[in-house]
Amino acid sequence: MEKRMISLFTFFCLCFTGLMTKVASINFSAYSFAGTSSGQKTVFVGSTRGKIYDRNLNKLVDKTEKLIAVVTPTVGSSEYLDFMSDMDSFNESIRSGSPFAVEVEQEINNDFLRTFSVPVRYGEEATAVHLIGYVSADGKSGVSGIERAYDGFLSENSGSLTVSFEVDAKGRVLAGMDKYVNDRNFNSQAGIILTLDSRIQKLTEAALGESGIGSGCAVVMKINSGEILALSSVPVYDPENVAASLGAEGSPLINKALQQYSVGSVFKPVVAAAALENGISQETEYECNGTYTVGDKVFSCYNSTAHGKVNMQTALENSCNCYFINLINQIDTDYLLKLCSDIGIGKADSIADGLSAASGSLPEADVLKIKGELANFAFGQGELMMTPIQMLRAYHTLATGNVVAPTVIYGTLDASGNVSAQTGAVPQKLLTDVTVNTLRKMLLSVTENGNAYNAKSKQTDLAGKTGTAQSGIYRNGKEICRTWFAGFFPAENPEYVVVVLNENGTAGNSDCGPVFKRICEGIIN
């Protein structure tokens, strides 16, 4: 009897050893059980959350899938499994007869295993990460971005997939009994539809990511609708491993498009618009000798360059500070401030319910009574601060005469595949057609003939302006500059507005101009 027992024990050991040596190509990271009830054991396979789509119903999350096999722990199942990393848990499942779920590399379906496709929320090709945001470690709640702003809707449309087994009193699977697949809204396609166009989003990310801009953003908006087609911020982070970016250089977790920054000369066309609306001719001239004295303060053009006799167009082409200081003193300041306020400067932009950009900063009228502050304001310095979203609004106004509220929400998709579109923004008229036509020509000339030459294109007419602004922030004894390029295209009949920002740059033309051009040409192509 003793020999028979030893032989039987040896036989089971050999079977067990064979099972362990054949386990490979599997990541045994998730022995998850939804629970055990009387006569039944349930294995958790995966969960889903409401989807997030672009405007063309391309998935922005859950784009890739992983394979999860639910395994009935028998000697027969070892034939299909390779090496597992968590052998202790595996051995325990074999001893207890408990079914388990494990990630596998290929689909396997037989009496011992059944494979299911489970979506990966972000994956290696995650896009628009700053706008979409990320979820908590358990995947149950949104922490940032759209995931947080629409957490209620996305959670309501969540689902789960489990597999149940009939078990004996000791919780071991009963041989010959069927498995029961429990699909609780797991494959629902309901979700949020964003205004993003994934093609434009990808080319914007590529243009910004390959530009050498270490910290900044690029945003593209559709003319008249206010729909944001692309929003890219750098540096990026991995939404599957957020902890790796905590405290990293460049603050990867911050969406730069929603932050406020000093502005610089990219603001000059707004001053020009106010002047034109005040009846000041674009032919108004000024003799620039490189400096402009206000009281005991001396303002200068870049490198104190003397531009000589310039009018409004050539002053924009050469970004002449002195011309615009002289010009702003001829404008009704109250009107200029109202125009800025109507554009949205100094007001927080809600680009989605629960997701807003900073308010920026617009000087008070009393502040601009101080001549030095008014001079600073003329070329976008002093107390003025804007977000890239507000810059979109401003250049939309310059391009069309209308202001429109930017948005990233197109609508929703229900479980039956029905789209409910959000009501479109209603543009508000701020500038006359005469002023708009003049601004379009002048801003086209800035890229064609002026110091924004890095944005000049042979494929289309690009209109825009550079900006380089002092930030008042110093690093290693050197002041950090915010550099910009903002514009629209095609110049004569605009369809898109594009804004590019570098948080720590040298000059708008060299830093941001090429990115602007690449995005615009990419959209055309």
Listing DSSP states for 350-393 in one string gives EEETTEE----B---HHHHTSHHHHHHHHTT-TT-EE-HHHHHH
How are beta strands 297-300 and 308-310 bridged, if at all? Answer: unpaired
Q: Which pLDDT belongs to residue 85?
A: 47
Give CA 145 to chain center in angstroms: 9
Nearest-angstrom CA–CA distance, 225 and 157: 28
Nearest-angstrom CA–CA distance, 360 and 170: 65
- Two tokens, residue 349: 């932009």
Q: Which pLDDT belongs to residue 14?
A: 39
Residue 438 near residue 279 (C-beta atoms within 8 A): no
Nearest-angstrom CA–CA distance, 486 and 483: 10
- Two tokens, residue 65: 């899938």
Amino acid found at 47: S
Q: Which pLDDT belongs to residue 110?
A: 80
- Two tokens, residue 254: 């911050």
| 343-381: pLDDT as tens digits | 999 999 999 999 999 999 999 999 999 999 999 999 999
Structural domain spans, the chain: 25-194, 198-240+252-524
Residue 155 near residue 135 (C-beta atoms within 8 A): no
Q: 195: how many CB neighbours lie within 10 A of its CB?
A: 24
Q: What are the residue ranges of helices labelled H in 183-309?
A: 198-209, 268-277
Exposed, middle or buried: residue 411 (CB in 10 Å: 0-12, 13-18, 19+)?
Answer: middle
Residue 75 near residue 21 (C-beta atoms within 8 A): no
Residue 400 near residue 364 (C-beta atoms within 8 A): no
> ∠190-194-200 over CA atoms, to 5°?
130
Q: Which pLDDT belongs to residue 3?
A: 43
Q: Which pLDDT belongs to residue 79?
A: 56
Nearest-angstrom CA–CA distance, 56 and 62: 16
- Two tokens, residue 525: 């192509």
Among candidates 497, 262, 468, 256, which has minimal Cα distance to 392? 497
User: What CATH number should be reported for the domain whose range is 198-240+252-524?
Assistant: 3.40.710.10
Residue 495 near residue 524 (C-beta atoms within 8 A): no
Q: Which pLDDT belongs to residue 21?
A: 36
Residue 52 near residue 151 (C-beta atoms within 8 A): no
- Two tokens, residue 37: 């009830």
Q: Is the pTM of this model over 0.85?
A: yes
In CATH, the architecture of 25-194 is Alpha-Beta Complex (3.90)
Q: Which pLDDT belongs to residue 461?
A: 97
Residuewise pLDDT in 10s, the chain (525 residues): 444 444 444 443 434 334 333 333 334 444 344 555 557 889 999 999 999 999 999 999 999 999 998 888 765 555 555 544 455 666 666 666 778 888 888 887 887 788 999 999 999 889 999 999 999 998 889 999 999 999 999 999 999 999 998 887 776 777 666 778 999 999 999 999 999 999 999 999 999 999 999 999 999 999 999 999 999 999 999 999 999 999 899 999 999 999 999 999 999 999 999 999 999 999 999 999 999 999 999 999 988 999 999 999 999 999 999 999 999 999 999 999 999 999 999 999 999 999 999 999 999 999 999 999 999 999 999 999 999 999 999 999 999 999 999 999 999 999 999 999 988 778 899 999 999 999 999 999 999 999 999 999 999 999 999 999 998 888 888 899 999 999 999 999 999 999 999 999 999 999 999 999 999 999 999
Q: Which pLDDT belongs to residue 27?
A: 42
Nearest-angstrom CA–CA distance, 98 and 33: 10
- DSSP assignment, residue 172? P
Residue 290 near residue 305 (C-beta atoms within 8 A): yes
Among candidates 501, 513, 514, which has minimal Cα distance to 469? 501
